[in-house]
Amino acid sequence: MHQSPRFARSRAGKRSILALTLAAVAVLVSTLLLSASGSTATPSSEYAAYPALQNNAPTELAFVSSHSATHTGDRPTWPLQAPEGAQSGWPLAESIRKLNTESPNMTTWIAKSLGGGVCVLLWVHEPAGDTPSIGYTCSGETEEDLHRGATTYISEVPGEPGRVFVAGVVPSTVAAIQATLANGATKTVAVNGNAWDLETEGDPQSYQTIPVGG
Amino acid sequence: MRKRLIAVLVTLASCGAVAATPASAVEYANHVEVGGGGNHFGPYVYFYAAETYPFGSAIACAGVRGVGLNCASSVGEVAGIVLPYDVEAEPYIHNHSTWTSYFSGYYYK
């Protein structure tokens, strides 16, 4: 039995469409993956002192493909893709990992930056109705920068005048942080899984690292 | 058949363009001088994130006027703030140093 020419053309056409569709999907996926990944990645070995970056626990952070003006949730979100033209300090979505910090009033994450630094991300649990924002700070990409880590703080929280929320990431060679507070007193905070955090009144004056075994 | 093929390709190309086009960065301040403890406000625009880059020994903060402010604590660190949706407001730089310093500021829309 012979197929009619029209039927044969139809099958060939379907195969062409299928092949082109698969090719288009492959190109799309490749584009998304390339644009979501950093361009100047620091070698993994440089991050060896930050095992928190290997944490596989849920991030508890919603990643979004676009920032909708109609979003009404009470939790923050993070862009799935780095913005076009993003600078070296942009935290890369795929590297974000949740940290185990002490305070029940904030959530923190660690990430690699686009330029090869290390970042700390901080969400202070604002009162309902306020904009749930994430503050972040990223170090530079040099070995010295990575050795120092990053510290971020948020001080203008609605309904909490004068209250300061601080979070930091440091290498695993650091056991604790000694903060000199606004009133001159000192407070020592333990480092847990590269992370530490602190709630206080007024801007702390300085931070000093206490090495493991120190 | 050819029309159907073209329609499929156009649809896929459109989907790809939408999915692959991320938000973009706009530099609103380039190496501006800001006095110790002072602010430099950007334009009134729609955006969802602001970022501040310090120069020299400056300590940077990135803010969204009326929404929030986030600061670094060390020299050379980049500070940023990301909101879950676009707002119409002014991104701004805050100099957390007590001395006059220089910064560049970006917002993402």
Determine the 3-state secondary structure of B12 from DSSP: helix
A128 to chain B, minimum CA–CA distance in Å? 14
- Banded pLDDT at A29 (limits 50, 70, 90): very low
Percent of chain A scoring above 70 in pLDDT: 76
As to burial, measured by CB atoms within 10 angstroms (0-12 exposed, 13-18 middle, 19+ buried), residue A18 is exposed
pLDDT of residue A42: 60
Say if residue A25's pLDDT is above 60: no
- Contact A48/B at CB under 8 A: no
CB pair distance less than 8 Å for A133 and B81: yes
B24/A138 Cβ within 8 A: no
In the prediction, which pLDDT does A11 show? 60
- pLDDT confidence tier of residue A21, bands split at 50, 70 and 90: low
CB-nearest to A77 from B21, B24, B84 is B84
- What's the whole-number mean pLDDT along residues A95-107? 93
Chain A residues whose beta carbon lies within 8 Å of the beta carbon of residue B73 = 137, 151-153, 166, 168, 204, 207
Residue closest to A121 by CA, chosen among A201, A71, A194 = A194
> pLDDT grade, residue A37 (50/70/90)?
very low
Q: Which of A119-128, B9-18, B95-104 has the highest mean pLDDT?
A: B95-104
Tokens of A203: 């801007």
Question: What's the predicted TM-score (pTM) here?
Answer: 0.80
**B1 CA: distance to closest CA in chain A (Å):** 7
Residues of chain B contacting residue A170, judged by C-beta atoms under 8 Å apart = none
Cα separation, A128 vs A122, in Å, equals 17
Amino acid identity, residue A98?
K
Q: What angle do CA B16, B19, B23 make, to 5 degrees?
A: 130
Q: Which pLDDT score, from 0 to 100, does residue A156 have?
A: 76
Mean pLDDT of chain B: 86
Give B-chain residues touching A134 at CB under 8 angstroms.
Answer: 81-82
Q: Does B66 touch chain A (CB under 8 A)?
A: no
Nearest CB neighbour to B79, from listed A145, A152, A168? A152
Tell me if chain B has a CB within 8 Å of the CB of A195.
no
Q: Is A148 helix (H, G, I), strand (E, B) or coil?
A: helix
pLDDT, tens digit (0-9, with 9 covering 90-100), for A79-91: 999 999 999 999 9
Query: Which position has the higher pLDDT, A151 or A18?
Result: A151
What pLDDT score was predicted for residue A71?
Answer: 61
DSSP B24: B
Contact A67 B77 (CB under 8 A): no
Give every strand in the sheet of B91-95, ordered side by side.
A195-201, A163-169, A150-154, B68-72, B60-64, B91-95, B39-41
ipTM attached to this prediction: 0.81
> Max Cα separation, chain A?
95
How crowded is the C-beta side of A183, counted as CA atoms within 13 Å?
5
Query: What residues of chain B lie within 8 A of the CB of A17, using their CB?
Result: 4-5, 8
Residue A128 has pLDDT above 80, yes or no: no
Distance from CA of A37 to the nearest CA of B (A): 13
Q: Is the pLDDT of residue A3 over 80?
A: no
Q: What is the pLDDT of residue A162?
A: 85
H/E run at residue B23: none
Render pLDDT for B39-75 as a digit per residue (tens, 0 to 9). 999 999 999 999 999 999 999 999 999 888 999 988 9
Taking all residues of chain A, what is their mean pLDDT, rounded to a whole number? 83
The whole-number average pLDDT for the span A170-181 is 96
Per-residue model confidence (pLDDT) at position A67: 73
Burial class (CB in 10 A: 0-12, 13-18, 19+), B76: buried
Using the Cβ of B81 and the Cβ atoms of chain A, whether some distance falls under 8 Å is answered with yes
Q: How far is B61 from B65, CA to CA, in rounded Å?
A: 12
Confidence class for position A159, pLDDT limits 50, 70, 90: confident
User: Which amino acid does the sequence have at B8?
Assistant: V
Q: Specify the range with the lowest mean pLDDT, choosing from A4-13, A197-206, B63-72.
A: A4-13
- pLDDT confidence of residue B16: 47
Candidates B96, B90, B99; CA nearest to B77 is B96
- Per-residue pLDDT, averaged over A140-144, amounts to 93
Pairwise CA distance, residues B67 & B44, whole Å: 13
Nearest to A135 among B4, B8, B70 (CB): B70
